[in-house]
A and B are shown apart, each in its own frame.
Chain A
Amino acid sequence: MSGYDRDESVAVIGAGSWGTTLARILGDNGRRTLLWARREDLCREINESRENRDYLPGAELAPCVEATHDLQRVCDTCKLMLLVVPSHGLRKLAYELGGFVTGEHVVVHVTKVIEQATFKRMSEVLVEETCLRKIGVLTGPNLAKELAQRQPAGTLVASRYDEVFRRAHAALSSDYFRVYWGQDVIGAEVGGAFKNIVALAAGVVTGLGLGENSKALLLTRGLSEMARLGVAMGAEVLTFGGMGGIGDLIATCSSTLSRNHQVGARLAQGESLQQIQDHMQMVAEGVKTTGAVHGFATRKGLELPIVRAVYHLLYEGGTAPRLLEDLMSIPTGAEFVALTV
């Protein structure tokens, strides 16, 4: 193992709830951590109060965590970076980063979305905007709120480069956070994005007052559809049986607090997408991902009935009872046919 692994400084780009949580994990491990936020006042507040009151109130940060808004300083200081920014800002930020990073940098992103306009995965966006090669993705059943309470959890770091995992593992793994490794970047990225669509449908199931059997049916078939899309994009089927597939799906669909779940539940209660979005500060990722995946599936002639039903509900004036009807009328057959695409 190289000297990097033991004591290198780590950057977390983005000080939302998940970014701050990751900075806290790094701080718990005694790593010198630079937490980057665009807002200078937020950085000042974090440094003074040792807490990110806006996004992760009540979670104290170790003294080795420092917030900064100076992106160049972050890139000059840290060769290992975790990129924790929302999907809509990633391309712009990637371009900015491109001005400071070098081929030496290792960047692990956590953005669970596929770019709507281009159908590009986030690692592809990074390659298009920067000189970076050593790129990885961190994904899994990681609800920030639970990790902020140091509850046990696991995650997946997927990268084509052994070094990316080695360094991310050394920095992040702890007695409450287990880091697994995979090489299937495509699978990890597709799983992370796709689960938001299933979470939205799970919200509908909850909103309709249905029970656990129904939800389990949805999750299982959702997983199958996730794998079918993934394989069509070049992923390996097994990835979806791991942290970034079933793991993430279970955690996200079990949590009634996620934005995707809330959108689904409110649609089930008869609100329109427009009404819901008017009252939500941030768009649920599942809404955009459904549009992107549906477009891709149509172009490629890929059969994704759950995506089609959710798309109908979101964009074609469908109703929740109709979604249920659509899903229950999908022909059944051999269970694993879908996985062998």
Chain B
Amino acid sequence: MRPEDRERAQVESSTRVVDHHVATAGKNPREYLEDLVGDTLYYERQRLEREPRGDARTRADTAFYHKVQRRLRHASNADLRELLEEIARRFAAEVVGNFDERVYKLTTTAVPAGLSVMLNAMSPRRSGSLSSLGAGLSGHIQTQGETDHVRDLLDRGTLVVVPTHSSHLDSIVLGYSAHLLGLPPLLYGAGLNLFNNPLVSFFMNHLGAYRVDRKKKARLYKDVLKEFASVAVEMGYHNLFFPGGTRNHSGAVEQHLKRGLLGTAIRAYVENLRAGRPKPEIFIVPCTISYKLVLEAETLVDNHLKETGKSQYIIDRDEFSRPRRVLNFMSDLVSLDGRIVLTFSKPVDLVGNEVDRQGRSLDPRGRVVDPRRYVLSDGAPAHDAQRDMEYTNGTAERIAQAYLRDNVIMSTHVVAWSLFRMLERKNPHLDLYRLIRTGGTTPSLPISEVAGEVDRTLLAISELGTRPRMGSDLEQGDTLDIIADALRYFGTYHTQPAALRRGDRVFPKDMKLLYYYGNRLRGYELGRQLAERREETLSP
């Protein structure tokens, strides 16, 4: 964000939040405002108790909230408002990113070289193999889909790019890819923990990131965050939200999307219309990022299995915070010619209508519709929280469908899915968790059976109503080549291979990884399709 806009965005978002709460509090605001400040105090102190005590930020926050508490005891109504303003401004100051377009330009053109230099610096012993890494990076990111369409919309309104989220590399990959496509910088909210990462804070600070601290649970903080996102869109900054929230832990394509940040786009749109801004339109661009191997797969699936059915928690340390793992991953990516595929889906408007290349909203039969009409009340653009939440729900469904259609399936996914299904069938007495923990009673599977299962899986995918895209690695060679390709990948980067081949048998080695990579095919009713095919095959 440009320096002059940073201050504007900070002031605007904190002021709007405070004004909103003061208005909601009504004529007798004491109880309401006290509750709001009290709520913030409670959650912030709870958070601070868990933070490392020596940390400078923790010390400053602790001192700040001590003061807030002291002042709260004797606060008049005017004092309460002042306290609220101070807290909101403090939150807003933290959220606002250090976005500098000049630095962005420098950084993106220098990304391959920069990355190479950094990786070299971290691991001098491997510098020889790394010299080509930078130059090679762009060759490993494949961008496809509606890229021209997206580019056409740049001058017609503000873009909100909403990608799937598997890895912390997503934002870097997407930022870089957007740059190669000629898209302007995307502003995005990145977890505060990423700014502590020595490797990535460089990118985060300079690729247009603002800070999102998911440990902050206070309502006021979330309000400021959402308002900032809305203000940034109003200012015409193209935005990037991960609507799945955090990285998805299971490996599956996200289907339950968070509405909070997505909903801010409608707020921004109504504000644009009210202010009579010349290009008020906001376009939602779903984007699917598909990895053949995922950097943080081991930690993510571990947490998914631990946390299934419980509330989500935040991962502080994973592969991404270990530079050597990132290095190995990048290095393998290059040596294996591994692709990261970004697929841009068709842009939609804020109620989920498709948008054509001129930026016009279309109904399902291709007729042009006026998006402004959706937010009118008594003939004028107006906020309506309930209505807008429903619009956002509809848009979230459209995004989720786009993810399913534009997810790119690769050999690792198909082979992992097939192996896992075979093991499930051979161990019907084990539930999912026991199967993953014990691996079942089948140490190995004949390669011919695995090939048969992979064939059936591929056929079943091709017969699905809503089906993913097939990666280029699935279109080269026969089934045995596909299996060999997947096993080669599984055998490189991860701590232990997900599966390996010896002689004519395949040995599943890491059930969690097989489950994780296979999950990329969940959400497609593939299990039922396969079961039906199986019944057909078995019946005389």
Question: Which residues of A are in contact with B by a Cβ distance under 8 Å?
Answer: 2-4, 95, 98-99, 102-104, 127-131, 133-134, 160-163
Contacts and interface: CB of A to CB of B under 8 A. Distances in A.
Given A2-B377, A4-B378, A131 B387 contact: no
Contacts of B7: none
16 contacts: A2-B377, A2-B378, A95-B365, A102-B370, A102-B373, A103-B369, A103-B372, A103-B373, A103-B375, A104-B373, A104-B374, A128-B364, A133-B351, A133-B390, A160-B390, A163-B384
Given A103-B372, A131-B361, A133-B394, 13 more contacts: A2-B377, A95-B365, A98-B363, A99-B367, A103-B373, A103-B374, A104-B373, A127-B364, A131-B363, A131-B364, A131-B367, A131-B369, A160-B390
Contact of A130 (B351, B363, B372, B384): B363
Contacts of B372: 103
A129 B365 contact: yes
Contacts of A2: 377-378
Contact of A133 (B377, B378, B386, B391): B391
A312 to B, nearest CB: 24
B376 interface: yes
For A3, A103, A104, the residue with the greatest tally of chain B CB atoms inside 10 Å of its CB is A103
A161 B390 CA distance: 7
Nearest to A100: B367
Interface string B373-400: 1111110000010110011011000000
A160 B388 CA distance: 11
Contacts of B371: 103
A131 B386 contact: no
Contact of B370 (A103, A128, A134): A103
Contacts of B367: 98-99, 131
Contacts, number: 51
B345 interface: no
Contacts of B376: 104
Contacts of A163: 384, 386-387
B353 interface: yes
Nearest to B374: A103
B50 to A, nearest CB: 38
B363 A162 contact: no
A133 B374 contact: yes
Q: What is the interface residue range for chain B against chain A?
A: 20 to 34
A99 to B, nearest CB: 7
Interface in B263-308: none
Q: B-side binding surface: helix, strand, loop or mixed?
A: mixed
A162 B369 contact: no
A2 B361 CA distance: 27
Contacts of B384: 163
A162 B365 contact: no
Contacts of B361: 131
A304 B372 CA distance: 45
Contacts of B387: 134, 161-163
Interface centre among B363, B374, B384, B393 (most CB of A within 10 A): B363
Nearest to B376: A104
Contacts of A162: 386-387
Given A127-B364, A129-B364, A163-B384, A102 B351 contact: no
A102 to B, nearest CB: 4
B354 to A, nearest CB: 11
A4 B380 CA distance: 12
Interface in B390-416: 390-391, 393-394
A134 B353 CA distance: 14
A130 B393 CA distance: 18
Contact of B386 (A98, A128, A161): A161
A127 B387 CA distance: 16
A95 to B, nearest CB: 7
Contacts of B369: 102-103, 131
Contacts of B378: 2-4
Nearest to B361: A131
Contacts of A104: 373-374, 376
A285 to B, nearest CB: 26
Nearest to B368: A131
Contacts of A98: 363, 365, 367
Nearest to A127: B364
Contacts of B370: 102-103
Nearest to B393: A160
A133 B266 CA distance: 15
Contacts of A99: 367
Nearest to B382: A2
Contacts of A130: 363-364
A161 B394 CA distance: 12
A160 B393 CA distance: 10
Nearest to B372: A103
Return the 9 tightest CB-CB contacts between A and B, nearest first: A103-B374, A131-B363, A103-B373, A102-B373, A131-B369, A104-B373, A162-B386, A160-B390, A3-B378
Report which residue of A99, A102, A128, A134 has the largest number of chain B beta carbons within 10 angstroms of its beta carbon: A102
Nearest to A133: B351
A113 to B, nearest CB: 21
Contacts of B373: 102-104
Contacts of A131: 353, 361, 363-364, 367, 369
A44 B374 CA distance: 35
A137 to B, nearest CB: 15
Contacts of A129: 364-365
Which residue of B364, B370, B372 has the most chain A CB atoms within 10 A of its CB atom? Answer: B364
Contacts of A102: 369-370, 373
A95 B384 CA distance: 28
Contacts of B364: 127-131
B130 to A, nearest CB: 52
- Of the candidates B353, B365, B377, the one having the most CB atoms from chain A within 10 angstroms of its own CB is B365
A130 B362 CA distance: 10
A4 B376 CA distance: 12
